Structure 1
Amino acid sequence: MNTIVALAGRSPNPWPRKKPGSTPRSPSLLSCTVSLFAVLFLFVFFYFSYARVSTSPSLLRGSLQASRPSRCEPRIRALGQRFLSYAPHSGFSNQLSEFKNAIVMAAILNRTLVVPPVLDHHAVALGSCPKFRVLSGREIRLAVWESAMELLRAGRYISMADIIDISSLVSSSMIRTIDFRVFVSLWCGVNIDLACNNQATGQSPLFASLKQCGSFLSGFNGNVDECFYSVDEDCRSTVWTYQNGNDGVLDSFQPDEQLKRKKKITYARRRRNVYKALGPGSQADSAALLAFGSLFTSAYKGSQLYFDIHEAPKDQRIQSIIEKIEFLPFVPQILHAGKEFALTTIKAPFLCAQLRLLDGQFKNHRKTTFLTLKEKVESLRQNGPLPVHIFVMTDLPEDNWSRTYLGDLAADVDNFKLHFLQEEDELFIRTAKELAVGGHGLRVGFVANSFARMDKLQKQCSPRILADVLLYIEEVICSCASLGFVGTAGSTIAESIELMRKHDVCSS
């Protein structure tokens, strides 16, 4: 092959010129025939060689061209599993919301869920679905893949199952899961544990192979029969439903006429039954991997933006899963750390104040946020013992508290005692180390009998840099606040804390 390519790359020889006064010779029939067959052979060879190569789009930024198989590798078929993946994004609370939706999708479609890593806050952003300005499924899957590879390379990889306890779901066979690292090792045919070694570089053959595999699993080579199916429907065109009898009808939320004209949008949002569209009898059902893009949803103008499956009265198994995942607790190490801080550091009844002041829309509502807190604090000051203990959970650095209500509280030491957790605290460091050793993500879920590298994977892929567990411990601390909770309106973090308080996590 290299020889033929080299020949094809040469400059063609010039046509021989007739010497002055010479008589041209007539080529023989045999010579012409041989030349013709040689040309045809080269044409056929290059045609089929080119047909086997799929050119990657420019978005791959110079990655290797990924081959397009007609079916999955034998090692994939031998697993006897059908998988479902998706692309988490934005902050942790949004990623957790997507994870819950993915659990429901995998259960409905009877697939093994690929459990992703926890991505850095806003390392991957979706965009604004109400404004119909979102990444395609392929683009967001590739962005998540690249972020996951960077986490592995930097020694900062933490699985969602390292943070959220799904052991009861898996052990009771309510769902089937596989860790992303195990899945990549099996599907891509690489030693992913080597990617966790700090000697590996992004330019190594290993990462070249992973980039090629990521291109394929992101869907840039299209669907491949019995192997890969990309769910290209996103929130601009689809709201996924299940068992509600309105399959195919228009959703109540549609792009308005002004937006259609301005953005030249032709989308029409329809409600679609995910089981009918992607389940038995569909083209997607035969694929070994079913790949979604974002699975994030939220309520908007009386409708859900993408995922509207909140009950399944005709399917008790799915109904049980929906009820079970309403609240998914943190793993024991995080729960114990939060409770320990409340009992041994605060040592008194306290109020929790979750104040999101710098990010997005919240920075424009700082005055309202502080006013709500002030009303609650003044009530406690007048009616309870002093000082009032307050645990503060905020994104506003302490150096910037001056001239804010937080600064006033901190200065009034006779009436208030403020508490907050910091990354240099011993409790934070100890909990991060325990999570690294615990390795919950690699201890739950499916592992093929032929996969013999689990011990090596657990050792090599343990985080070399301590995970940022501050948010998770703070949420647990707030769930223990016996004097009440004041959260930032519209914050998904506040919603998570309220849910934890509803399920009485602190006393369990």
Structure 2
Amino acid sequence: MVLLTPKGLTEERFSANHRSKPCSCRSGKDSGYGYDYDYAQLFSPNSLECGEFINVHHECTPINILNPYTTPTRMFSKRRPLYRFPLIPLSVLAVVLSFLFLYHYYVKPDSQFPGFSKASASSHAPQCSSQALALGEKFVWYAPHSGFSNQLSEFKNAVLMAGILNRTLVVPPILDHHAVALGSCPKFRVVDPKDIRNSVWDHMIELIRSGRYISIAEIIDIASLVSSSLVRVIDLRDFVSIWCDISLDLACITDTKLQSSVSKSLKRCGSLLTGLHGSVEKCIYAINEDCRTTVWTYHNDGHEDGMLDSFQPDEQLKQKKKISYVRRRKDVYKTLGPGSEVESASLLAFGSLFSSPYKGSELYVDIHESHQDPRFLSLMEKIQLLPFVPEIMIAGKEFAKETIKAPFLCAQLRLLDGQFKNHQKATFNGLRQKIESLRKEGPLPIHIFVMTDLPRVNWVDTYLGNLTRDKHNYKVYFLKEGDELVKQAAVKLMAAGHGQRFISNSNTIGKKYCSNQRLPDLLLYVEQAVCSSASLGFVGTPGSTIAENIELMRKFGSSS
């Protein structure tokens, strides 16, 4: 595992690099023009030296504007025009004062944080910092979206891509449910990769500001994956600190005088990382292929590279939507690995990495076949199930042991979101059949743990309402976000520090601005942990990725 802590990325470096040279002004802080000349603290090493300004100022010796050339020994010297020479030093002084006025109000705030002044002076075209290029490390990141289970699926594909391409994976936060949406791959109606990357960046800044940023590595246990050296990772916050020379915590600044500069610097960083203006040589390669045109594969000989995929838009869809997409299979190693045009890029930026089976193919990532490479086989095996961190699993087992206290059935009922709201009857029928089977086989009451997006107040006229009222035959359990068990799990999780942070929070220059970190909402994860230990079985909603994850947990016995 590579420790990606660049030398000097601490507060000491910031203070050292921006410490001003001492200087003073002979005439004091006010020379009579109403301006403060003690601006030594404003100048960075790349800016005008303080001493140079003072020399310019003091070359302008005060004069008698009525007769500037009068001396005690030349009372009757020839009069010279009053409008020539005196105006020269006065005009110089006016220019200098104007410069200082603009510098004070527009540049000074930037100089308090590394990289601001330097970036402001540069061209608008995004460029990698010399520090980023000097790392010698190659990175890959992507744009997660939709609900948590979809984000987990994308994370697994990202781990695969990072392992295959031998790049360090930039680990993203968990996004709010459907804060960023992809669209529909089967309908060939999706958001462009650069736009979805930009949406993820904007939402990530919002998570920082609202104190709700939590890395997926703080929820999913990847310790064994990293310790096995199968993949290298770095937290997105640490990556931005290195790559853009700015702490994301600065997004929390409320000082109106600083907000503009901070906002510009964050926007500049975001436009670079998202590839908003395209790829930059040796810096970033922005992948703009998506599921409409590409299916990523991986073979030792790359034999499928360039072949047509079996799933293509039908003629009716082409005519109706006026599209002409052709889906081709591309070998990820051959296209993006050593020897490709992408190899020299320090950062490789994907859009969505979500994929699922569809009509005999995969929507975007089709890397399932066995390979002779033992490292790749080991990586494939490890990502089949990425369990929750111990604090979540322990909370789930504790609820089953201390609250339910008996063998139980778990029912995962997704009833309100997307397509599932149109299939409530079928979802309840599956649960009803399982319960009827248990009634014939075992003792009563039947203990049932329910996780659902249907609010309790809406249970009354549903099958769930019938179960809760029949207390003789059924005992129904559920968890709420405010339950003490869930809150204590969040407290323990935050204290554990699973986030793969290589740069201490205390060493980020903007940390003092983000003091509003909230406890994460772990309800969904603890519920899945409870369901993984349901000894009487599990009934999930068909097509739900949450149900699929619970089935995996039960298959691999992650609750044991």
**Corresponding residue number in structure 2 for 1:366:** 424
Aligned-partner Cα distance in 2 for 1:409–1:456: 53
Moved more, 482-491 or 74-83: 74-83
Distance 1:226 1:391, change over 3 A: same
Distance 1:452 1:123, change over 3 A: closer
Say whether residues 1:473 and 2:526 are aligned partners: yes
Equivalent of 2:553 in 490, 500, 506: 500
Q: CA deviation at 1:66?
A: 7.6
**Corresponding residue number in structure 2 for 1:120:** 176
Corresponding residue SS for 1:379? helix
Q: Render the CA deviation track for 1:69-98: whole Å, top value 9, x for unaligned.
A: 5x6321012222110010000000000000
* Structure 1 contact 439–458 (Cα < 8 Å) conserved: no
Equivalent of 1:68 in 103, 120, 125: 125
* Structure 1 contact 92–121 (Cα < 8 Å) conserved: yes
Aligned-partner Cα distance in 1 for 2:403–2:190: 44
Equivalent of 1:423 in 442, 462, 481: 481
The amino acid of 2:304's aligned partner reads N
Corresponding residue SS for 1:229? strand
Corresponding residue SS for 1:352? strand
**Corresponding residue number in structure 2 for 1:256:** 314
The amino acid of 1:155's aligned partner reads G
**Corresponding residue number in structure 2 for 1:433:** 491
* Structure 2 contact 129–244 (Cα < 8 Å) conserved: no
Q: CA deviation at 1:283?
A: 1.2
Aligned-partner Cα distance in 2 for 1:331–1:207: 35
Q: CA deviation at 1:188?
A: 1.1
Q: Render the CA deviation track for 1:288-338: whole Å, top value 9, x for unaligned.
A: 000000000011111100000013413221121011100001011101110
* Structure 2 contact 212–520 (Cα < 8 Å) conserved: yes
Q: Render the CA deviation track for 1:231-261: whole Å, top value 9, x for unaligned.
A: 1111000000000621111000001112112
Aligned-partner Cα distance in 2 for 1:156–1:411: 38
Moved more, 171-180 or 305-314: 305-314
The amino acid of 2:420's aligned partner reads F
* Structure 1 contact 154–198 (Cα < 8 Å) conserved: no
**Corresponding residue number in structure 2 for 1:179:** 235
Describe how 1:281-320 pairs up with structure 2 within 5 A: 281-320=339-378
Say whether residues 1:241 and 2:294 are aligned partners: no
Say whether residues 1:195 and 2:251 are aligned partners: yes
Aligned-partner Cα distance in 2 for 1:409–1:214: 51
Describe how 1:98-497 pairs up with structure 2 within 5 A: 98-195=154-251, 203-243=259-299, 245-443=303-501, 447=502, 455-456=507-508, 464-497=517-550
* Structure 1 contact 436–463 (Cα < 8 Å) conserved: no
TM-score (norm 2): 0.75
Moved more, 194-203 or 113-122: 194-203
Distance 1:276 1:356, change over 3 A: same
Aligned-partner Cα distance in 2 for 1:68–1:153: 27
Q: Render the CA deviation track for 1:351-388: whole Å, top value 9, x for unaligned.
A: 00000111111111111111111111122123212111
* Structure 1 contact 155–198 (Cα < 8 Å) conserved: no
Q: Render the CA deviation track for 1:409-462: whole Å, top value 9, x for unaligned.
A: 00000111000011111001111122222231144xxx4xxx676555897668
Distance 1:254 1:170, change over 3 A: same
Moved more, 404-413 or 426-435: 426-435
Aligned-partner Cα distance in 2 for 1:214–1:191: 13
Q: Render the CA deviation track for 1:103-134: whole Å, top value 9, x for unaligned.
A: 00011111000000000000000000111110
Q: Render the CA deviation track for 1:464-488: whole Å, top value 9, x for unaligned.
A: 2221111100001000100110111
Aligned-partner Cα distance in 2 for 1:404–1:251: 44
Distance 1:198 1:347, change over 3 A: farther
TM-score (norm 1): 0.82
* Structure 2 contact 193–288 (Cα < 8 Å) conserved: yes
Could you say what the CA RMSD is over the residues aligned between the two structures, in angstroms? 2.1
**Corresponding residue number in structure 1 for 2:61:** none
Corresponding residue SS for 2:186? helix
Corresponding residue SS for 2:530? helix
Aligned-partner Cα distance in 2 for 1:427–1:261: 55
Distance 1:452 1:323, change over 3 A: closer
Q: Render the CA deviation track for 1:166-202: whole Å, top value 9, x for unaligned.
A: 1111112110000000001111111233335677999
Aligned-partner Cα distance in 2 for 1:474–1:281: 46
Distance 1:132 1:93, change over 3 A: same
Corresponding residue SS for 2:241? helix
The amino acid of 2:158's aligned partner reads A
* Structure 2 contact 237–247 (Cα < 8 Å) conserved: no
Corresponding residue SS for 1:84? strand
* Structure 1 contact 155–465 (Cα < 8 Å) conserved: yes
Corresponding residue SS for 2:549? helix
Distance 1:198 1:426, change over 3 A: farther
Aligned-partner Cα distance in 2 for 1:202–1:385: 68
The amino acid of 2:208's aligned partner reads L
Q: CA deviation at 1:506?
A: 1.6
Q: Percent identity at matched positions? A: 63
Distance 1:462 1:113, change over 3 A: farther
Q: Mind listing any 5+ residue stretches in structure 2 that lack a counterpart?
A: 1-119
The amino acid of 2:188's aligned partner reads F
Corresponding residue SS for 2:368? coil
Distance 1:126 1:279, change over 3 A: same
